[in-house]
Chain A
Amino acid sequence: MMKVGDYEVKEGVYYTKKHEWARVSDDVVLVGITDYAQQALGEITFIDIRGDAGPVNVGDTLKRGDKYAEVESHKAVEDVFTPIGGIILEINESLQDAPNTINDDPYGAGWILKIKAEDIDSQLKELLDADAYAEVLKSEAE
């Protein structure tokens, strides 16, 4: 784990500029929001797995960049977009009772979706590695 200011960046994980991450093993991908994103939100009070067209379920297909959740804190609601497209294999149901798991462990137990990716290699080319994401955080601090 490296740190940029107050924010942790996990190595070996892919990122977007919108502070989402994807952890890949073969063609199965876990996605979530970064430490920066959770700190900016503050304590997360609720996560609604919901896209523009309504609730999102296991078996649905998402395209890279689709909105798939709304994350709420006491004061704010933020949309969350998937960094990787594919079929949803699993939704982290434990977040319904304990959404603040995302605050406690954003890159681990706070994962949100498990996705079976399509054409993973070409999708990963569009994402940032840890070093590139760290640069994004540094430029946001300026």
Chain B
Amino acid sequence: MVEYKTTHLYDWHKKHASAMHEFAGYMMPIRYSGINEEHLAVRHAVGIFDVTHMGRFHFRGERAAEFANYMTTNDVGRLNENAAQYTLICNEKGGIIDDCIVYYRASDWIYIVVNAGNKVKDLAWFKKHAPKFGVTVEDVSDQVPNFAVQGPKAEATLQKLTDIDLSAPKFFSAISGKLAGYDVIMGRTGYTGEDGFEISQFSVPLDKPDDAVDLWHKILEAGEEFGIKPCGLGARDTLRLEAALPLHGNDITEEITPLEARLRTWVKFKSQGDFIGRAALEKQKEEGVPRYRIGLLMPGRRAPRPHNKLIIDDEVVGEVTSGTLSPVCQRGIGLGYVKREYKDVEEIFVDIRGTLEKAKALKPSSKVMLTKIKELEVR
């Protein structure tokens, strides 16, 4: 019997999911009613995801914010208790160890959310550097249920459960308060390309999961009039791909820098002081970035897949890193990398198991890729 970890919602998932699978050591729902249906619920109304398998740490100590700033590429100095930020954790070579969300709670308290698959590695990396700052790193992943409520009706759904005015906070706001009577921090953040909230519920022990299950049910009830759907990791992946959001392990790795991944916006060379990877990234900025991430849109349903070669004029110029079928436009979509001279190319061939398919190459941003995909929506 293979051992795996579970979240507070495990019994609920077991009852309602049509497929579950081990992911990053956790037994997680892949789909409930189906990837397409869940995906379209998020695009047109609202969906809820259990993402409690993500890694959540507190940095505590007088220099906690300074420590977070040193460990990440974005500028923690721009944050206050009402704001969160997307940021990257780099190694000395500028390679991406992980991407994450940082919440500033106070100058001596940072809350950080990292990828499930990198939790152990990240924790070790933080603990290695924390003593220099006199900071402690506490792993609270299993005591903090984490739900993402995503879609154009996410705000209306959650508004029914709180007195906080949710119309005011902008994208990447951090909101602290009560939701359905429970203490939460909500980031107006997500991994879908839609408006939405990521909710951390403090604190619910794994062996007494009732409060987490109750909050999950209350959100489902609140969203019922909008057609809320519980969504699994399958739809999470198709949603993020339509929005060109990179997945660590596929589209960004320790061998790829934020400049190559075109995540330059979240590297603050000017306002940031020293951070791990800074010197290497500045050097790359000077010398030139060897490759760039691009988005791919196929003419038909055949999807690009990781490691498919990207070809221009019979020359291999790069490789696909992620791909699937877009539930919105019913075409293959993907992300990949090309040599720098092809950064702005508009057409490229993908070698899919021996046949060349002509793809549109797009800038890998939600604004460009998801907008294009929505224009092509098949209803």
Q: Which residue numbers of A lie inside 8 Å of B, CB to CB?
A: 39, 42-43, 45-46, 48, 54, 70, 72, 74-75, 77, 96, 99-100
Query: What's the nearest-Cβ distance from chain A to residue B296, in Å?
Result: 15
Given contacts A42-B35, A43-B35, A43-B36, contact A75 B302 (CB under 8 A): no
A residues less than 8 Å from B238 (CB atoms): 74
Query: What's the nearest-Cβ distance from chain A to residue B347, in Å?
Result: 21
A108 to B138, CA, bound (A): 55
A54 to B354, CA, bound (A): 9
B residues less than 8 Å from A42 (CB atoms): 19, 30-31, 35, 234
Given contacts A42-B234, A46-B301, A48-B302, contact A74 B325 (CB under 8 A): yes
Given contacts A74-B234, A99-B301, contact A46 B324 (CB under 8 A): no
A100 to B34, CA, bound (A): 11
Q: Which residue of A lies closest to B303 (CB)?
A: A72
Return 17 A-B CB contacts under 8 Å, by A number.
Answer: A42-B31, A42-B35, A43-B31, A43-B36, A45-B324, A45-B325, A46-B300, A46-B302, A46-B325, A46-B332, A48-B302, A72-B301, A74-B324, A75-B234, A75-B237, A96-B301, A100-B36
Query: What's the nearest-Cβ distance from chain A to residue B66, in Å?
Result: 41
Q: Which residue of A lies closest to B302 (CB)?
A: A46
Chain B 158-171 interface 0/1 with A at a Cβ cutoff of 8 Å (1 = within): 00000000000000
Most buried by B among A43, A54, A99: A43
B residues less than 8 Å from A72 (CB atoms): 301-303, 325
Chain B 315-346 interface 0/1 with A at a Cβ cutoff of 8 Å (1 = within): 00000000011000000100000000000000
A74 to B237, CA, bound (A): 9
Q: A75 is contacted by which of B324, B353, B355 (Cβ under 8 Å)?
A: B324
Chain B 283-316 interface 0/1 with A at a Cβ cutoff of 8 Å (1 = within): 0000000000000000011110100000000000
Evaluate contact between B303 and A46: CB separation under 8 angstroms. yes
A77 to B305, CA, bound (A): 9
A126 to B357, CA, bound (A): 38
State the majority secondary structure of interface residues on B: mixed
A99 to B324, CA, bound (A): 15
A92 to B13, CA, bound (A): 36
A54 to B300, CA, bound (A): 18
Evaluate contact between A45 and B301: CB separation under 8 angstroms. yes
Q: A45 is contacted by which of B19, B303, B354, B355 (Cβ under 8 Å)?
A: B303
Query: What's the nearest-Cβ distance from chain B to residue A56, in Å?
Result: 13
A54 to B31, CA, bound (A): 33
Q: Which of B114-156 contact A (CB under 8 A)?
A: none
Most buried by A among B19, B30, B237, B301: B301
A99 to B300, CA, bound (A): 13
Please give me the 7 A-B residue pairs with the lowest Cβ-Cβ distance, nearest first: A45-B325, A46-B301, A74-B324, A43-B35, A74-B35, A43-B34, A46-B302
A residues less than 8 Å from B234 (CB atoms): 42, 74-75
A97 to B7, CA, bound (A): 38
B residues less than 8 Å from A96 (CB atoms): 301
Given A46-B325, A100-B36: 14 more A-B contacts, CB < 8 Å: A42-B30, A42-B31, A43-B31, A45-B324, A45-B325, A46-B300, A46-B302, A46-B332, A54-B355, A72-B303, A74-B238, A74-B325, A75-B237, A75-B324
Q: Which residue of B lies closest to A79 (CB)?
A: B353
Query: What's the nearest-Cβ distance from chain B to residue A43, in Å?
Result: 5
A residues less than 8 Å from B325 (CB atoms): 45-46, 72, 74
Chain B 34-52 interface 0/1 with A at a Cβ cutoff of 8 Å (1 = within): 1110000000000000000
Query: What's the nearest-Cβ distance from chain B to residue A78, in Å?
Result: 12
Q: Which residue of A lies closest to B234 (CB)?
A: A74
B residues less than 8 Å from A46 (CB atoms): 300-303, 325, 332
A residues less than 8 Å from B301 (CB atoms): 45-46, 72, 96, 99
Query: What's the nearest-Cβ distance from chain A to residue B350, in Å?
Result: 14
Query: What's the nearest-Cβ distance from chain B to residue A40, in Å?
Result: 9
B residues less than 8 Å from A99 (CB atoms): 301
A residues less than 8 Å from B353 (CB atoms): 70, 77
Query: What's the nearest-Cβ distance from chain B to residue A128, in Å?
Result: 25
Query: What's the nearest-Cβ distance from chain A to residue B234, in Å?
Result: 6
A residues less than 8 Å from B19 (CB atoms): 39, 42
A residues less than 8 Å from B355 (CB atoms): 54
A residues less than 8 Å from B35 (CB atoms): 42-43, 74
